[in-house]
Amino acid sequence: MIELNDVSKVYSNGVKGLEDVNLKINKGEFVSIVGLSGAGKSTLLRSINRLIDISSGDIKINEKSITSASEKQLRLIRRDIGMIFQSFNLVKRSSVLRNVLSGRVAYNNTLRTLLNLFPQKDVDLALKALERVNILDKAYTRSSELSGGQQQRVSIARTLAQEAKIILADEPTASLDPVTTKQVMDDLKKINTEDDVTVIINLHFVDLAKEYSTRIIGLQAGKVVFDGTPEEATPEVFEEIYGRSLKEDELLGEENL
Amino acid sequence: MIDTKLNGPLPAKPSRWPFYLFLLGLFAIVLISAIYIGANPITFIQNSDNMVDLFVRMFPPAWSYIATTTPAMLETIRMALLGTTIGMIFSIPIMFLCARNIFRLRWLVELSRIGLNILRTIPDLLLAAIFAAILGFSPLAGIVALSIFSIGIIAKLSFEAIENIDNGPLESMTAVGANKLQWIAFGVVPQILPHFVSYVLYTFEINIRAAAILGLVGAGGIGVFYDRALGFFAYDQVLALILYTLVVVIIIDLISLKIREKLL
Amino acid sequence: MSQRDQLKKARARKRGKIAIILIGLIAIYVWAISGIEFRGIQETAGPVTKNILKGFISPDWSYVYSPDGEDLIRGLLETLAIAIAGIFLSIILAVPVGLWAAKNLSKSFITSQSGKGVLSFFRTLPDIILALLFIKVVGPGAFAGMLALGIGAMGMLGKLYAEEVEAMDPGPVESIAAVGGNKLQQLAFGVIPQVLPGFISATLYRFEINMRSAATLGLIGAGGVGTALIFAIQGRSWDRVGIILIGIVVVVLIVDLLSSALRKKIT
Ligand SMILES: Nc1ncnc2c1ncn2[C@@H]1O[C@H](COP(=O)(O)OP(=O)(O)O)[C@@H](O)[C@H]1O
Ligand SMILES: [Mg+2]
């Protein structure tokens, strides 16, 4: 379970990224976060695994505060949280397998990982993860040689190999075409239902949010302005979140799916 | 625990051996090199008290040495200035000869380039040692050495700049029926002049550093004092010299940088 | 004021500026030329030049290889060995200092700036001066030369490494932090693979410079082919000077060619 209590984030330039956010996200939920660009979606997501230090409030992951965790505790908490980025953030020159294996670094002794001596069990896990996202045949390929969709599946495989209990995905499909978008969303949904992994995902397309999630959170200028089921998220609600009616490019469009 | 049994076949794993062998080879080369020159860390450790001694005796620096060596420092600057200038003058024809987009005579261009590349292989200090033998121990030897050394840098950077110029002005010069010299003067020169001046200044910065050591082989400038101070084990004077040179180099770098920023 | 007057004024101002620059330049050159003592140009300059040219045309080929004792090949091999061992030492030194100086890896501005300060100090120290100092520590010879190059090249390599790190994509590093990797793991999995080609290219570039430096070290007693050269110059055996210079040119050219081909392939 993830708990945010009175969380605020003020950036050094004075911009309020988050303001008094209170949320409780239960295990197994598929939560979409929607809102205008600049609403604070990335800030929220990156606060959860403390890639950003919040200014006030507290965030608890499974009862443990990540806000006040020591360096070592922080690494252990992060070990259980997978993250998927819009720009994939793979090391392009490394092989696919090495990128997936890098999800296991926190499970192993530092020296072993530096020498690239991962236990066979980790390698098996990484290969299985690649098979689950259908790119096992690319295991020894350079990541730069993969298409965008394939690269994103490598990062999903990394969270699988990581045996993450929570997946944070920051607009994972924003640089993908509609067909690949659907495959990536399906992969995430599959992991969510099969492995009971909590998924929190920032989405640009509201129809994707409605289709895949069990819960939608609307952000506006750092504040939570909507929190409910996809059924409750009517066009009027979105109009409120966005402060206007939806634009063409905020809908993936039914015909594309 | 997830079941890790794969359903499909595993892709062929590329062999790491070529990579390991390459690393091993590299390591062997370094090791052989070190042994060949008798590089022994133990010698270094055994002599580390020498180093400590050297450091300790550097302090405090002999500030008074700065006054003594100032005429030589000025000579160093003069040498660098004149060497760069003469090098610049000789670079002008050479850089046009080396650029592939100026002259049609392919063999001439390639020959000039080979010549320039050969020139660039000879280090400044070697040139200075040779010219000191020819001209005697005088700053003139240093100036000649620096001139030749400068050609290598200025001509190289400039011909590359020439090859990157915009073709438009050249075509319009051809269109109005200009001869080769007019073509260069009006089509090429205006485009590369700021770069050229910038490269000359950059070379001047390098030459100040170079001129400061040419004295070690008798080619004038402050370098001769390093030899003298070290000969007397006067490490405090050595440090004063190092700091003095450092300050002069930094000041000249700053001035040169300011001018270069204005140019580009 | 009419437009033409304005134009005239601008032109006058420009002319004034050019005049000032010209006067300044003339003053500098008068200062420079008048200060150089053209003392003691040898009368022998002419004959010596002739002899040197003769030495180049008919170099002492017998010096290239002799089964016993000093020869050109051994001198060149020693030069190469100094450059190789030297670059190895500078890599070991420059990687940590370069990472220290990279501003995107350190938390505070002061940390990276102090790293940069160390690097620029070593960059301004000429290799030859370092060699003179190391001769005092370990005695004359190639080892002193290697230490000098090792330390001397660290400044430039460290700076190039730091620039490479500063230009990298922070994303992959962040993704390793996000899975719970510690600082070392972030380096090994996020930073190093990204910057490796740049590091290799910078190292090769510096190796080209090391070859030239190593060829001069012998002039002051720090090993390599320069030793033979300075003896040949002092002994006025110009045919030997000729063959040594040819040897240096050939080896440095080969190293340059190999290195720049490799660099092109990497990037
Ligand atoms: N590092 C930062 N420094 C200052 N302001 C930032 C920083 N990151 C984000 N912001 C600001 O915080 C607000 C929220 O940003 P973000 O969380 O990236 O929004 P979203 O992901 O919803 O587009 C924006 O106004 C943005 O400009
Ligand atoms: Mg965002």
CATH code, domain carrying B188:
1.10.3720.10
- In terms of Cα–Cα distance, which of A91, B85, A196 is closest to C186? A91
Torsion of CA B194, B162, C248, C215, to 10 degrees: 20
Residue B129, pLDDT score = 93
Residue B2, pLDDT score = 59
How many whole angstroms separate alpha carbon B200 and alpha carbon B140? Answer: 20
* Structural domains in chain C (count): 1
- What is the tens place of the pLDDT at every residue in A200-218? 999 988 889 999 999 999 9
Residue B14 lies in a domain: no
Q: Which of A98, A127, A138, A141 to mutate to test the interface with B (most CBs of B within 10 A)?
A: A127
What's the gap in Å between A51 CA and the centre of ligand 1?
A: 13
List for chain A the helix, strand, coil content (%; round to 5).
40, 25, 35
Residue B85: domain span: 62-263
Most confident by average pLDDT, A239-243, B89-93, B257-261: B89-93
- In terms of Cα–Cα distance, which of C150, C148, C151, C121 is closest to C220? C148
A139 touches chain B (CB under 8 A): yes
Residue B173, pLDDT score = 78
Domains assigned to chain A: 1-80+166-175+195-257 (3.40.50.300), 84-164 (no CATH)
Residue C46 lies in a domain: no
- What is the tens place of the pLDDT at every residue in C90-128? 999 999 999 999 998 888 888 888 999 999 888 888 899
Query: A136, B2: Cβ pair inside 8 Å?
Result: no
Task: Detail the DSSP E strand segments found in chain A.
Answer: 2-10, 16-25, 30-34, 56-61, 64-65, 81-84, 166-170, 198-202, 215-220, 223-228
Residue B252, pLDDT score = 92
Residue B126 lies in a domain: yes
Residue A248, pLDDT score = 66
In this model, does residue A253 exceed pLDDT 80?
A: no
Residue B5 lies in a domain: no
Tokens found for residue C166: 């500063």
What's the gap in Å between A149 CA and the centre of ligand 2?
A: 19
Closest partner residue to B11 (CB to CB) among A124, A136, A195 is: A136
Residue A257, pLDDT score = 46
Q: C152-184: string of b/e by CB count within 10 Å (b at 16+)?
A: bbbbbbbbbbbebbeebeebbbbbbbbbbbbee
- What is the tens place of the pLDDT at every residue in C187-240? 999 999 999 999 999 999 999 999 999 999 999 999 899 999 999 999 888 889
Residue A256 banded pLDDT, cuts 50, 70, 90? very low
- The HSE-up count of residue B251 (CA atoms within 13 Å, CB side) is 7
Over chain C, what is the mean pLDDT?
90
Q: Closest residue of C to A160, CA-based?
A: C179
Residue C124 lies in a domain: yes
Which residue's entry shows tokens 């000729």?
C242
Q: Are C155 and C125 in contact (CB under 8 A)?
A: yes
Q: Position C16: which residue type?
A: G
Residue C47 lies in a domain: no
Torsion of CA B184, B190, B192, B193, to 10 degrees: 110
Q: Closest residue of C to B253, CA-based?
A: C124
Residue B141 lies in a domain: yes
> Which ligand is in closest contact with the Cα of A47?
1
Residue B181, pLDDT score = 83
Residue B204 lies in a domain: yes
Of residues C69 and A143, more confidence is placed in A143
A87 touches chain C (CB under 8 A): yes
Cα A88 vs. chain centroid, distance in angstroms?
A: 11
Residue C69: domain span: 62-266
Residue B202 lies in a domain: yes
Q: Could you tell me whether strands A2-10 and A16-25 are parallel, antiparallel, or unpaired per DSSP bridges?
A: antiparallel
Q: Closest residue of A to B2, CA-based?
A: A125
Residue C40, pLDDT score = 58
Sheet order of strands, A198-202 included: A81-84, A166-170, A198-202, A30-34, A215-220, A223-228
How many whole angstroms separate alpha carbon C160 and alpha carbon C158? Answer: 5
* Structural domains in chain B (count): 1
Q: Are C232 and C240 in contact (CB under 8 A)?
A: yes
Residue C30 lies in a domain: no
Q: Chain C: nearest CA to A8, how far in angstroms?
A: 21
Query: A140, B11: Cβ pair inside 8 Å?
Result: yes
Cα C170 vs. chain centroid, distance in angstroms?
A: 31
Alpha helices, DSSP H, located in C125-178: 127-138, 142-166, 170-178
CATH code assigned at C136: 1.10.3720.10
ipTM of the complex model: 0.90
Residue C34 lies in a domain: no
Evaluate: CB of A43 within 6 angstroms of ligand 1.
Answer: yes
Q: Are B98 and B109 in contact (CB under 8 A)?
A: yes
- What is the tens place of the pLDDT at every residue in B163-173? 988 887 778 87
Total-model pTM: 0.88
How many angstroms separate the Cα of B119 from the Cα of each of B114, B153, C9, C245? 9, 10, 48, 11
- Mean pLDDT score, A94-106: 95
Q: Chain B: nearest CA to A130, how far in angstroms?
A: 10
Residue B84 lies in a domain: yes
Evaluate: CB of A15 within 6 angstroms of ligand 1.
Answer: yes
Over chain B, what is the mean pLDDT?
90
Residue C193 lies in a domain: yes
Residue C20 lies in a domain: no
Residue C52 lies in a domain: no
Tokens found for residue B236: 């405090």
Q: Which of B37, B224, B241 to mutate to test the interface with C (most CBs of C within 10 A)?
A: B37
Closest partner residue to C178 (CB to CB) among A83, A87, A91 is: A83
- The HSE-up count of residue A25 (CA atoms within 13 Å, CB side) is 30
